[in-house]
């Protein structure tokens, strides 16, 4: 029956054209999120919805830590790899202001990045931001996690074998990607954290956004990291790990759900004085197909999102039956998870932050987007029955 319904809805979509915003049932959403927050693999959670360009919902659920205060809309979390969208927004804005070109080779910048076979002389800044630099995915992340200096690691990348020709495949990076930090600092003469604050956070009125471990822990309200380990039914408190803060362009940003919603609005084109239409076009135009991402989505979401591609620090999909283009990203670092997904044509979407490695909150983006498109309700959070393990 489900396939028959999908086929019929697809035919209607072809007749009527792409889906448009249908409106969100906020009462139902709040009830669902309250139920989710009571699951044993959850600690704290914050969710915001942008509908028609306005932040129409921003709530916290659960606690910042067991025995501590509640999560609010102002509680600060780590953004993990959503930091990449901050970095690429910063770089693309600087490029359109004439500081450099996205087509400049990486060798033309004073960075520590070396690629196999001298690939830095061929790969461009655009290739770096689209993860098309030809080395194995997540190259030397384990060295970073063991405490090695990112500059040292970036120099060592040149000793690796080429995994694919530059620009011909997508291989997700953290340490290599963070050469962006060196490029921004060279172009602005500012530390990366200060450049992000002055060029993006302050103009976008992102009042809690920051970069670095100390800034997170100095926040008035911040969520502590938790992980559920194999063999343990409940999340356990972790220390805030430093390594990915050492690559701030790849994973160093913190902020509240309200600030993440403000950043999402800017990605929708609703802050054109900060991120111009040309900047957003450059950021969100797909550069490379990502088959591994598509396979992961097929296994987890029953193919809700199709045609997975990557722009500059942003993933781009087609949303199931509707065919609408959606843009987003997810982040994961020990004790924290994050996500953003939005339809730039409808100026609508959702952002989520949580302080555990629970998988269930990933379904929030689909439940909200389904409401936006007027699709039938589905238990994407998997809280009406069945079990879901901890996210990897």
Residues 6+ apart with CB under 8 A from 149: 246
54 has which bridge partners? 51
Structural domain contains residue 17: no
Per-residue pLDDT of the chain (392 residues; tens, 9 = 90+): 333 333 343 433 333 334 444 689 999 999 999 999 999 999 999 999 999 999 999 999 999 999 999 999 999 999 999 999 999 999 999 999 999 999 999 999 999 999 999 999 999 999 999 999 999 999 999 999 999 999 999 999 999 999 999 999 999 999 999 999 999 999 999 999 999 999 999 999 999 999 999 999 999 999 999 999 887 889 999 999 999 999 999 999 999 999 999 999 999 999 999 999 999 999 999 999 999 898 887 776 666 899 999 999 999 999 988 899 999 999 999 999 999 999 999 999 999 999 999 999 999 999 999 999 999 999 999 999 744 434 43
Cβ contact 55:73 at 8 Å: no
253-256 and 210-211 beta bridge pairing = antiparallel
pLDDT at 15: 35
The DSSP string of 102-167 is TTSBGGGS--S---GGGGGGT-BHHHHHTT-SSS-TTTTHHHHHTT--HHHHHHHGGGSPPSS-TT
27 vs 25: CA distance, rounded Å: 6
State the CB neighbour count (10 A cutoff) for residue 170.
Answer: 21
Give the position of tokens 């990486």: 106
- Does 117 lie in the same domain as 43? no
pLDDT at 388: 43
Structural domain contains residue 3: no
Q: Which two tokens stand for residue 189?
A: 């003469």
- Does 289 lie in the same domain as 360? yes
Q: How far is CA 204 from CA 45, 47, 66, in A?
A: 23, 19, 32
143 vs 45: CA distance, rounded Å: 30
Q: Which residues of 259-279 are buried (b: 16+ CB within 10 A; e: fewer)?
A: bbbbbbbbbbbbbeebbbeeb
119 vs 135: CA distance, rounded Å: 10
- Does 133 lie in the same domain as 235? no
287 has which bridge partners? none
- Does 329 lie in the same domain as 245? yes
pLDDT at 372: 97
138 vs 247: CA distance, rounded Å: 13
26 vs 218: CA distance, rounded Å: 33
Full residue range of the structural domain in which residue 116 is found: 91-188
Structural domain contains residue 86: no
pLDDT at 294: 86
Last residue of a domain, one of 160, 188, 216: 188
Angle at 49 between CA 46 and CA 51, to 5 degrees: 175
- Does 164 lie in the same domain as 68? no
Structural domain contains residue 250: yes
pLDDT at 5: 35
The DSSP string of 167-217 is TSS----STTTTHHHHHHHHHHSS-HHHHHIIIIITTTT-SS-EESHHHHH
φ and ψ at residue 215, rounded to 5 degrees: -65, -40
pLDDT at 22: 62
Closest to 286 (Cα-Cα) out of 256, 324, 313: 313
pLDDT at 190: 98
- Does 102 lie in the same domain as 75? no
Three-state secondary structure call for residue 332: strand
Number of domains in the chain: 2
The DSSP string of 160-174 is SPPSS-TTSS----S
- Does 215 lie in the same domain as 300? yes
- Does 71 lie in the same domain as 95? no
Structural domain contains residue 5: no
Three-state secondary structure call for residue 3: helix
- Does 299 lie in the same domain as 238? yes
We report the CATH number of the domain holding residue 254 as 3.40.710.10
324-333 and 315-319 beta bridge pairing = antiparallel
Structural domain contains residue 390: no
189 vs 258: CA distance, rounded Å: 29
């Amino acid at each position: 029956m489900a396939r028959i319904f999908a086929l019929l809805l697809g035919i209607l979509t072809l007749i009527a054209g792409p889906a448009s915003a249908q409106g969100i049932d906020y009462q139902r959403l709040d009830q669902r999120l309250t139920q989710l927050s009571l699951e044993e693999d959850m600690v704290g959670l914050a969710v915001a919805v942008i509908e028609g360009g306005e932040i129409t919902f921003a709530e916290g659920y659960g606690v910042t830590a067991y025995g501590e205060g509640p999560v609010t809309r102002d509680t600060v979390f780590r953004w993990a790899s959503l930091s990449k969208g901050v970095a690429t927004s910063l770089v693309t804005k600087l490029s359109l202001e004439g500081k450099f070109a996205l087509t400049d080779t990486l060798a033309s910048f004073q960075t520590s990045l070396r690629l196999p076979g001298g690939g830095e002389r061929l790969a461009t800044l655009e290739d770096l931001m689209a993860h098309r630099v030809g080395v194995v995915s997540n190259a030397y992340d384990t060295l970073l996690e063991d405490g090695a200096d990112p500059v040292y690691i970036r120099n060592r990348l040149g000793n690796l074998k080429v995994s694919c020709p530059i620009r011909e495949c997508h291989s997700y990076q953290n340490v290599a990607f963070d050469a962006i930090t060196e490029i921004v600092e060279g172009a602005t003469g500012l530390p990366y954290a200060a450049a992000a604050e002055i060029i993006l956070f302050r103009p976008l009125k992102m009042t809690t956004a920051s970069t670095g471990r100390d800034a997170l822990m100095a926040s008035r309200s911040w969520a502590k990291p938790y992980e559920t380990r194999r063999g343990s039914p409940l999340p356990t408190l972790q220390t805030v790990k430093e390594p990915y803060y050492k690559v701030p362009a790849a994973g160093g940003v913190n902020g509240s759900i309200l600030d993440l919603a403000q950043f999402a609005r800017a990605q929708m084109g609703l802050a054109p004085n900060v991120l111009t239409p040309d900047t957003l076009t450059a950021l969100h135009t797909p550069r490379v197909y990502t088959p591994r991402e598509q396979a992961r989505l097929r296994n987890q979401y029953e193919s809700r999102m199709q045609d997975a591609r990557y722009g500059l620090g942003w993933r781009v999909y087609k949303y199931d039956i509707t065919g609408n283009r959606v843009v987003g990203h997810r982040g994961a670092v020990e004790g924290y998870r994050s996500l953003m997904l939005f339809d730039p044509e409808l100026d609508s979407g959702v952002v989520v932050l949580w302080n555990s490695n629970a998988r269930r909150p990933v379904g929030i983006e689909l439940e909200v987007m389904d409401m936006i498109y007027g699709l039938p309700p589905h238990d994407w959070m998997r809280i009406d029955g069945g079990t879901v393990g901890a996210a990897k």
